[in-house]
Amino acid sequence: MCGIFGCHNHPDVHKFKPTALKLAKQIRHRGPDWSGNVISNNTILCHERLSIVGVESGAQPLTNADESIVLAVNGEIYNHRLVRKHLNHKYHFKTHSDCEVIIPLYMEHGLEAPAHLDGMFSFILYDKTKDRTIAARDPIGITTLYQGWSWKEPGAVYFASELKCLHPVCDKIIPFPPGHVYDSLTGETTRYFKPKWWDPTNVPSTPVDLKALRAALEKSVRKRLMAEVPFGVLLSGGLDSSLVASIAQRENLRLQKEAADKEKLNQEPDADAVDRGEGLVGIDDDGSLSTSTYFPQLQSFSIGLPGSPDNKAALEVAKFLGTKHHVMTFTIEDGLNALSDVIYHLETYDVTTIRASTPMFLLSRKIKAMGVKMVLSGEGSDEIFGGYLYFHAAPDKEAFHDETVRRVKNLHYADCLRANKSTSAWGLEARVPFLDKEFLALAMDIDPADKMITKEKMEKYILRKAFDTSDEPDNQPYLPENILWRQKEQFSDGVGYGWIDALKDNAELHVSDAMMANPKAEWGTDVPDTKEGYWYRLMFDELFPPRCGSTVQRWTPTWSQQTDPSGRAIATHEHKYDNAV
């Protein structure tokens, strides 16, 4: 992940520049490879770069030929080769960066440019000739972006990848809505992402096509192997991360077989070929991955307390797949010591997010120290397929579908935020194949009756069945059968049940009954209902002013009276499973 910061229509932008650079420096952990900034008229754009694609030539902010358009981007554009090939007008690209295609798309399509992108992204683009700034965020909010305003500069508008850049200068801050684009000419933010499933009242009736579901996820993983640097997979041993790891390993082995002519792969393309997208890492028209980096052995990573269910399952998967697996164990003290840093980087006080992010935060540091800069992860599957155990209580398919839509729309407050910020805290990038636009379109259009949990069908049954090859002639299994059909464990549970228990115990030491009965007035109606939540809110308040609380949404399960969001607290959790893994 990279980091971006920008301000449009500042009354004295040159005087503001030293402050802007200090604010941008607050997110240098996201992009430790290089820093850049451009001032044009009354607008400044700053960029902190993590180089994954176009490593040698992709420094930002990017500009067009006459430098009338300036662009700062955080993210990856997986279809950049296709965009280059199918532009309506010839455009000479200055770099090999996947992100540069946003400039000619804006020149041809204006505010509709983000709709033509396939990837994860947040960007700020300044058009000097029109004195116009537009900002946009990817459809689901995989990348983070915030927008702010200040009473001191009433005409100015600010943008940044993280909250910590904005609260020193802004009185009002909001999470920039995913799938939307902002236009300074009108001051309006409009939605460009308009899939069929966005309206939850449009309950789909399409029966599941298991082969299509498998093919769509395989294509999504393939896209996300677009990289010129070492990468790996986060492997918890659960269904979602294990499927991603299995597909990535198959693709890595395929790339090895196709790389016989290494000299041809290493040839430098001519300038016109680059403009056509040839010779660049990316996706072709047929959906195949071209000129990707591959490795003799794919690396996988897991974390847990000693003896954790996840580490044990992850080792089994890694051995089955043949990945080079790295197991990290952490102690409860390690996790407790990291809590303040986790909340600083995550910028939330949501209980579920903090519980799950702390092990991911610790693991990301180890991964980056090993020289890996990008990892694949399994976020999004539980929201799409109703994988959380509380979905057992869905009263009917309409309610089930409504909840999946709500969960996907709110991922930017929870699992996307966790995956993005836990990794980017150490200059590591996480990619999430389940949240691919094309895969979402297919998976969210499946009749929810096929997704519902019954006595005969466990959670995520259709996803499991899509990768069950036991009835196929060649029977080349993607995963061991016991992993393919392993019951759902939320990440904060799977790293070891002692982790959540320790958090609750420590919260008891920091928060009294009297404190619970007399919460801070500035919290308004957003009052934590557990001592653990109260404790996190206190730590959040030490790091951020009260107004930042409006950017946080707390995760709670539907159809349940419980206050603890742990999957283990759901009545349907089978405790006999604990001894079986």
Residues serving a catalytic function are 2
Q: How far is Cα 555 from Cα 538, in angstroms, rounded to an integer?
A: 18
Q: ∠ CA 149-411-31 to the nearest 5 degrees?
A: 60
Q: How far is Cα 393 from Cα 400, in angstroms, rounded to an integer?
A: 9
**Does 303 carry a binding-site annotation?**
yes
Handedness of CA 215, 122, 175, 178 (dihedral sign): negative
Q: How far is Cα 479 from Cα 460, in angstroms, rounded to an integer?
A: 15
| Cβ–Cβ < 8 Å for 431, 98 | no
**Does 377 carry a binding-site annotation?**
yes
Long-range contact set of residues 112-119: C-beta below 8 Å, sequence gap at least 24: 112/192, 114/138, 114/181, 114/192, 114/193, 115/192, 115/193, 116/83, 117/77, 117/79, 117/83, 118/77, 118/78, 118/79, 118/223, 118/436, 118/437, 118/438, 119/75, 119/76, 119/77, 119/78, 119/79, 119/80
Of the candidates 479, 379, 489, 491, the residue with the CA atom closest to the CA atom of residue 439? 379
Ramachandran area for residue 141 (φ above 0: left; ψ -120 to 50: alpha; else beta): left
Length of the chain equals 581
Task: Find the DSSP H helices in 97-238.
Answer: 102-109, 210-223
509: how many CB neighbours lie within 10 A of its CB? 9
Paired strand residues for 136: 123, 181
> C-alpha distances in angstroms, 405 versus 168, 253, 312, 324, 398?
35, 35, 33, 36, 11
> C-alpha distances in angstroms, 39 versus 7, 129, 256, 566, 573?
10, 14, 45, 47, 56
3-state secondary structure of 183: strand
DSSP state of 52: S
Contacts of 475 (CB under 8 A, 6+ apart): 469
**Does 131 carry a binding-site annotation?**
no
Q: ∠ CA 396-490-481 to the nearest 5 degrees?
A: 85
Contacts of 196 (CB under 8 A, 6+ apart): 202, 204, 441, 444, 445
Residue ranges for the known binding site for L-glutamine are 98
Residue ranges for the known binding site for ATP are 234, 303, 377-378
Residue ranges for the known binding site are 98, 234, 303, 377-378
